[in-house]
Amino acid sequence: MSLLGKAGRAPAAQESGFAAHRAGVERLLASYRAIPRNANVRLAKKTSNLFRARAKNTAPGLDVSGLTQVIAVDPVARTADVAGMTTYEDLVDVTLRYGLAPFVVPQLKTITLGGAVTGLGIESTSFRNGLPHESVLEVDVLTGAGEIITATRDNEHADLLRGFPNSYGTLGYSTRLKIELEAVEPYVALRHIRFHDLRELEATMARIIEERSYDGEPVEYLDGVVFTADESYLTVGRRTDEPGPVSDYTGMDIYYRSIQHDDTRPKRDRLTIHDYLWRWDTDWFWCSRAFGTQNPRIRRFWPKRYRRSSFYWKLIALDHRYDIGDKIEARKGNPPRERVVQDIEVPIEHTADFVEWFLREIPIEPIWLCPLRLRDESNGERPWPLYPLEPERTYVNVGFWSAVPTTPGQQEGFANRAIERKVSELDGHKSLYSDAYYSPEDFAALYYGGNTYSTLKQHYDPDHRLLDLYSKAVQRK
């Protein structure tokens, strides 16, 4: 039934949700007014999924403590009103009660809805559902000018809705988003398909995306893992309500290791929809191995509540703060290591080209693959100007998260710069949540959408209370 009762009155739970949200917005506005006029506005967040250095700022931040809840769900319209700082973990916990999920659920539990929209997100539904911002119907934004404005797809602020993705909070912060939801089933049936040749994987992935099926079964979820040039996998998933046994990768078993097999036939598996959505979070894909938690002797005694990306991120933050990793390498007589934590997109026809180059030049494995196509293909134009993927074209996200040895005298960011050059050469794009080394001119050409960004910045942040995108994404001071 609809959340709206007779005579259009919302039930008490919904009224309470919006009342709590309004109170949270008032606290946010009060904190904005308390920030000195000569100080940059920033969020007062305890957690982050960003891996790049952030500008130092001693001024008080925006109070977002009242913007962390799901405000209301309409299961008939399949929409949800969600506060901007709500994590996907909390959002999914609510929507799954209705048999619904966001169109795209990024891999890590503490990613916020507002963060995924302004900073981009991706997952295994992206080959059919695009990116998180494409399912946003309207968004309330606290602009740099200190105003709360509502942007929809066709109102006077539609330009902000279109320019918000990939702006990383430099045009404003979302306080409420109304998003579309899709129906899900209780389980996901998986098949892991092995490849010995990256070109064959690329061709098979393109065919699956075109046909939305594999070997006679529908495909609703699709991603992949590359271990080596001759061992790679595509994982296809379909929704199902058929009861039966399911796997559990929150204990001793490790999800990405379960993918591997030698059989020429696909390996089958089943997960609950909840566990499927968070299959990567328990071990932060495979990054938990850096902390020893994949060692059975350690894993057995590592508390289950700490087997999650948010805890590993805290350990990484300590390493960054105290240079623990570099000090350990120095004791071994080794130079510091360069952090290479990136997600890039290349057109699908260049997937094998990029991965083969990467495996030759950058000593990191495994590598994650996730295809995507924009949902919005109106008029053949690029609808999201600050991250200009082409409509009606398939891309593949390639994710790699580790560190590589450096050579004394090498230019800072040597490996990352090489990746940036290769991605541009292959007509791709790089996400901006981590280190970037572009010149101001190259950055503007890639991410400003011509005059789009400067026009939006002048309109919604005329006094430059918020950092500009180049300062936030590239500069480190």
Dist CA 66 CA 64 (whole Å): 5
Examine residue 306 and state whether it is found in any structural domain, yes or no. Answer: no
Question: What φ, ψ does residue 248 adopt, rounded to 5°?
Answer: -130, 115
Q: Which residue has the higher pLDDT, 323 or 421?
A: 421
First to last CA, the chain: 53
Are 345 and 269 within one domain?
Answer: no
Are 147 and 222 within one domain? no
Burial class (CB in 10 A: 0-12, 13-18, 19+), 118: buried
Which of 53-62, 235-244, 259-268 has the lowest average pLDDT?
53-62
Q: In the prediction, which pLDDT does 324 show? A: 72
Q: Please give the average per-residue pLDDT across 29-52, as a whole number.
A: 78
Domains in the chain, number: 3
Residue 87: DSSP 8-state: B
Average pLDDT, the chain: 91
Residue 3's alpha-carbon distances to 73, 80, 138, 387, 466, in angstroms, are 7, 11, 19, 36, 37
Residue 361 has pLDDT above 90, yes or no: yes
**Mean pLDDT on 113-123:** 95
CATH number for 148: 3.30.465.10
Task: Tell me the C-alpha distance between 205 and 223, whole Å.
Answer: 9
Mean pLDDT of 83-88: 97
**% of the chain at pLDDT higher than 70:** 92
**440: Cβ contacts below 8 Å, ≥ 6 apart:** 470
pLDDT band at 334 (very low <50, low <70, confident <90, very high): confident
Q: In the 3-class helix/strand/coil scheme, how is 230-280 assigned residue by residue?
A: CEEEEEEEEEECCCCCCCCCCCCCCHHHHHCCCCCCCEEEEEEHHHHHCCC
Does the pLDDT at position 147 exceed 70? yes
CB atoms within 10 A of CB 317: 13
**Structure confidence at residue 115 as a pLDDT band (50, 70, 90):** very high
Considering Cα of 22, then 137, then 40, then 412, what sign does the dihedral take?
Answer: positive
The pLDDT value recorded for residue 49 is 57
- Residue 70: its H or E element: strand 70-74
Number of neighbouring beta carbons within 10 Å of residue 6: 5
Judged against a pLDDT cut of 90, whether residue 61 lies above it is answered with: no
Averaged pLDDT, 361-380: 86
* Mean pLDDT within 122-133: 97
Say whether pLDDT at 6 is over 60: no
Q: Read off the pLDDT band of 314 (50, 70, 90).
A: confident
Confidence of residue 12 (pLDDT cuts 50, 70, 90): low
Which token pair is 322? 């105290």
CATH number, domain of 330, equals 3.30.70
Q: Is 434 or 44 the better-scoring residue by pLDDT? A: 434
Flag whether 113 is in a domain. Answer: yes
- Residue at token pair 């099926």: 213
The Cα 385–Cα 455 span in angstroms is: 12
**14 confidence band (pLDDT: 50, 70, 90):** confident
**pLDDT confidence of 268, banded at 50, 70, 90?**
very high
101, 37: one domain = yes
Kindly report the pTM of this predicted structure.
Answer: 0.92
The pLDDT of 353-359, averaged and rounded, is: 98
* 368 contacts 232 by C-beta, under 8 angstroms: no
Instruction: Tell whether 174 and 234 lie within a shared domain.
Output: no
Q: What is the pLDDT of residue 331?
A: 81
Q: What is the pLDDT of residue 323?
A: 76
Q: What domain range is 105 assigned to?
A: 6-183
Question: What pLDDT sits at residue 315?
Answer: 86
Same-domain check for residues 115 and 134: yes
The pLDDT confidence band at residue 48, using thresholds 50, 70 and 90, is: low
Confidence at residue 180, expressed as pLDDT on a 0 to 100 scale: 98
Establish if 468 belongs to a structural domain.
no
Query: What are the distances in angstroms from CA 256 to CA 128, 194, 299, 437?
Result: 23, 13, 15, 31
pLDDT for res 5 = 32
In a domain, 33, yes or no: yes
C-alpha span between 30 and 155 (Å, rounded): 27
Q: Is the pLDDT of residue 374 over 70?
A: yes
Over residues 20-42, the mean pLDDT reads 91
For Cα atoms 307, 320, 49, give the angle at the middle one, nearest 5 degrees.
55
Please check whether residue 110 is in contact with residue 89, taking contact to mean a CB–CB distance below 8 angstroms.
Answer: yes
Determine the Cα–Cα distance for residues 363 and 355; give it in Å rounded to an integer: 12
Flag whether 412 is in a domain: yes
Question: Is the confidence at residue 267, as pLDDT, over 80?
Answer: yes
- Integer Cα distance of 428 and 418 in angstroms: 14
pLDDT at 228: 97
Confidence of residue 8 (pLDDT cuts 50, 70, 90): very low
State whether 179 and 226 are in the same domain. no
Dihedral, CA atoms, 389, 355, 270, 126, nearest 10 degrees? Answer: 0
Burial class from Cβ neighbours inside 10 Å (0-12, 13-18, 19+) for residue 105 reads: buried
Q: What are the residues whose beta carbons fall under 8 Å from the beta carbon of 32, sequence distance 6 or more?
A: 41, 62, 142, 146
Do the domain assignments include residue 203?
Answer: yes
| 335: DSSP letter | P
Q: Which residues pair with 401 in a beta bridge?
A: 341
Confidence of residue 42 (pLDDT cuts 50, 70, 90): confident
Q: What is the pLDDT of residue 319?
A: 74
Residue 269: phi, psi to the nearest 5?
-155, 165
Q: Determine the average pLDDT of the residues in 128-140.
A: 97
Which whole-number Å values give the CA distances from 76 to 81, 98, 201, 273, in the listed order? Answer: 14, 10, 39, 20
Q: Say what the pLDDT of residue 50 is.
A: 60
Same domain, 223 and 263: yes
Q: Is 261 among the domain residues?
A: yes
Q: Is the pLDDT of residue 408 over 90?
A: no
Give the residue-averaged pLDDT of 44-59: 59
| CB-CB contact of 120 with 342 (8 Å) | no
Let me know whether 170 and 195 are in one domain: no
Residues 427 and 357 in one domain: yes
- Phi and psi at 237, nearest 5°, equal -130, 150
Per-residue pLDDT averaged across 379-398, rounded?
86
Last residue of a domain, one of 437, 453, 471: 437
Query: 142 and 35 in one domain?
Result: yes
Are residues 142 and 75 part of one domain?
A: yes
The residues, any chain, with a CB within 8 Å of residue 345's CB and separated by 6 or more, are 372, 389, 395, 396, 397, 398, 428, 429, 430, 431
Do residues 257 and 167 share a domain? no
> Would 291 be classed as within a structural domain?
no
Single residue among 151, 183, 215 that ends a domain in this structure:
183
Radius of gyration of the chain from Cα atoms?
Answer: 22
Last-in-domain residue among 131, 163, 183:
183
Q: Please choose, from the candidates 316, 379, 389, the residue with its C-alpha nearest in 3D space to the C-alpha of residue 346.
A: 389
